[in-house]
C-alpha cells in the first residue's frame, strides 16, 4: 500500500513539473510573438552610409522612412578611414549599407565583400554610374577617381541609384522614394546653375584651382577649371619635395593669386607649398578651406551636400577674383 502511495506521489510531481514546463513554454512563445510583432510594426529601414555625402543623400531620399547612421563625421578622410569593430557590427545589423566604391573607402574593401556574402543589402554607388565619363588616375588608367560628388550631374546619377536601391529593398514605399528623388533633382539643378553663375564671374585665365590633394578634377571638368593637386587622388600618397617645387614653379609662372587647404587634409602640405612659392619671389595667399572628402557641419552652415558645394564655389571665386 505504501508503494502505491509513493507511485501516486511521484506521478503527481511529474504532472506538476510538466504543467509548469508547458506554462513557461506558452509564456515564452507569447513573448517571442509579441517581440516579432513589435519589430514588424515599425517598418523603418536602418541604413548605414560610409561618408557624410552619402549619409546626407540617404536621408534626403529616404525621408522619414529610414534611419541613417553615418560612419564618418565631418572632416574625416575616407581614404584612410579604418572601420572599428563597432562599425562592422553596425553594418552587419543594418537593412541597407550605402558606400561610394571606386576605392574611396580604401581600407574597407574586405568588409564590404563580407557583407555581401552575409546577405546584407548593399548599395555601391559606382555601380550606378556611367563608367565612360569617369576620370582615371594619371598614373594608372585602371584606377578611377572616386570624387564623383564634385560634378553635380554625376551626383544626380548617384541619387537616382540610391532611390532605385531603396525602392528595390522596400517596394511598399517606392512612391515616397521616387517623389523625394524628383524634388532633390530639382534642387541639384538649381545648385548646378548657381555654381555656373559664380564661375562666370571669373575670367577664364583665373580659373585655376590648386588644392592639397587631387580631389577636384570632376569639378574642373564640369565647370571649366584647370585643377592641380599637391597629392594624388588618394591622400595615402604623400607629396615629395620635387612635387612641391614643381607646383610652386607653376604658381609663379601663372601668377596664381590663391591656393586652398582642405577640411579633411592636414594644412601643412599647402603651407609648405606657400613657403616654396615665397622662396621663388612670389606671394600666394591661402584662399580658404574647401570641403573635399567630407561635408561641413551645422556650426558652419555646411552640413548638407548642397550647402557644402555652395560654400566651396563661393570660397574659390571670392579668393581668385
Give the tens place of pLDDT for each residue, 190-215: 999 999 999 999 999 999 999 988 89
Higher pLDDT, 267 or 316: 316
Alpha-carbon gap, residue 61 to 132, rounded angstroms: 26
79 is a domain residue: yes
Domain boundary pick from 173, 194, 215: 194
Give yes or no: residues 84 and 156 share one domain: yes
Q: What pLDDT, on a 0 to 100 scale, did the predictor assign at position 82? A: 95
Give yes or no: residues 176 and 219 share one domain: no
Alpha-carbon gap, residue 48 to 1, rounded angstroms: 72
Q: What pLDDT, on a 0 to 100 scale, did the predictor assign at position 232? A: 64
Q: What pLDDT, on a 0 to 100 scale, did the predictor assign at position 41? A: 39
Give yes or no: residues 168 and 234 share one domain: no
Q: What pLDDT, on a 0 to 100 scale, did the predictor assign at position 239? A: 63
Domain boundary pick from 194, 221, 247: 194
HSE toward the beta carbon, residue 54, CA cutoff 13 A: 30
Task: Please state, rounded to an integer, the average pLDDT across all residues of the chain.
Answer: 87
pLDDT tens digits, one per residue of 62-112: 999 999 999 999 999 999 999 999 999 999 999 999 999 999 998 999 999
163 is a domain residue: yes
Domain boundary pick from 170, 194, 218: 194
Q: What pLDDT, on a 0 to 100 scale, did the predictor assign at position 35? A: 29
Please give the tally of structural domains in the chain: 2
Q: Are 241 and 251 in contact (CB under 8 A)?
A: no
**Mean pLDDT, residues 286-297 taken together:** 96
30 is a domain residue: no
Alpha-carbon gap, residue 291 to 103, rounded angstroms: 19
Q: Which domain holds residue 50?
A: 45-194
245 is a domain residue: yes
pLDDT greater than 60 at residue 37 = no
Alpha-carbon gap, residue 251 to 321, rounded angstroms: 16
Global pTM value: 0.84
**Mean pLDDT, residues 275-298 taken together:** 96
Give yes or no: residues 92 and 225 share one domain: no
Higher pLDDT, 235 or 47: 47
Q: What pLDDT, on a 0 to 100 scale, did the predictor assign at position 230? A: 86
Give yes or no: residues 56 and 167 share one domain: yes
Q: DSSP 3-state assignment of 209?
A: strand
**Mean pLDDT, residues 127-138 taken together:** 92
Q: What is the CATH number of the domain that holds 269?
A: 3.40.50.1980
Q: What is the DSSP letter of 68?
A: E
18 is a domain residue: no
Give yes or no: residues 56 and 186 share one domain: yes
Q: What pLDDT, on a 0 to 100 scale, did the predictor assign at position 138? A: 76
Please count the other Cβ atoms lying within 10 Å of the Cβ belonging to residue 242: 8
Instruction: Kindly state the cell numbers that stand for 98.
Output: 550605402
Amino acid at each position: 500500500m505504501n508503494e502505491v502511495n509513493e507511485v501516486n506521489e511521484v506521478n503527481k510531481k511529474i504532472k506538476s513539473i510538466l504543467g509548469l514546463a508547458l506554462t513557461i513554454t506558452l509564456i515564452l512563445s507569447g513573448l517571442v510573438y509579441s517581440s516579432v510583432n513589435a519589430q514588424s510594426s515599425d517598418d523603418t529601414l536602418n541604413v548605414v552610409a560610409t561618408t557624410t555625402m552619402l549619409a546626407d543623400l540617404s536621408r534626403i531620399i529616404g525621408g522619414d522612412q529610414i534611419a541613417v547612421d553615418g560612419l564618418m563625421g565631418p572632416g574625416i578622410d575616407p581614404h584612410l578611414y579604418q572601420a572599428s569593430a563597432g562599425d562592422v557590427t553596425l553594418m552587419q545589423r543594418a537593412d541597407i549599407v550605402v558606400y561610394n566604391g571606386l576605392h574611396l573607402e580604401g581600407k574597407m574593401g574586405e568588409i564590404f565583400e563580407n557583407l555581401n556574402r552575409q546577405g546584407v543589402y548593399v548599395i555601391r554607388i559606382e555601380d550606378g554610374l556611367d563608367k565612360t565619363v569617369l576620370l582615371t588616375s594619371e598614373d594608372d588608367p585602371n584606377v578611377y577617381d572616386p570624387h564623383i560628388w564634385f560634378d553635380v550631374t554625376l551626383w544626380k546619377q548617384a541619387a537616382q541609384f540610391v532611390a532605385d536601391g531603396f525602392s528595390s529593398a522596400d517596394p511598399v514605399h517606392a512612391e515616397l522614394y521616387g517623389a523625394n528623388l524628383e524634388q532633390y533633382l530639382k534642387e541639384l539643378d538649381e545648385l548646378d546653375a548657381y555654381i555656373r553663375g559664380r564661375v562666370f564671374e571669373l575670367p577664364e585665365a583665373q580659373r585655376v584651382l590648386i588644392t592639397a590633394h587631387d580631389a577636384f578634377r570632376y569639378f574642373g571638368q564640369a565647370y571649366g577649371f584647370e585643377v592641380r593637386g599637391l597629392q594624388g587622388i588618394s591622400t595615402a600618397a604623400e607629396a615629395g619635395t620635387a612635387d612641391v617645387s614643381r607646383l610652386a614653379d607653376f604658381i609663379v609662372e601663372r601668377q596664381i593669386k590663391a591656393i586652398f587647404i582642405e577640411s579633411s587634409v592636414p594644412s601643412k602640405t599647402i603651407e609648405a607649398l606657400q613657403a616654396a612659392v615665397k622662396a621663388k619671389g612670389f606671394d600666394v595667399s591661402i584662399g580658404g578651406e574647401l570641403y573635399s572628402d567630407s561635408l561641413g557641419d551645422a556650426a558652419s552652415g555646411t552640413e548638407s551636400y548642397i550647402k557644402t558645394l555652395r560654400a566651396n564655389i563661393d570660397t574659390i571665386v571670392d579668393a581668385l577674383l
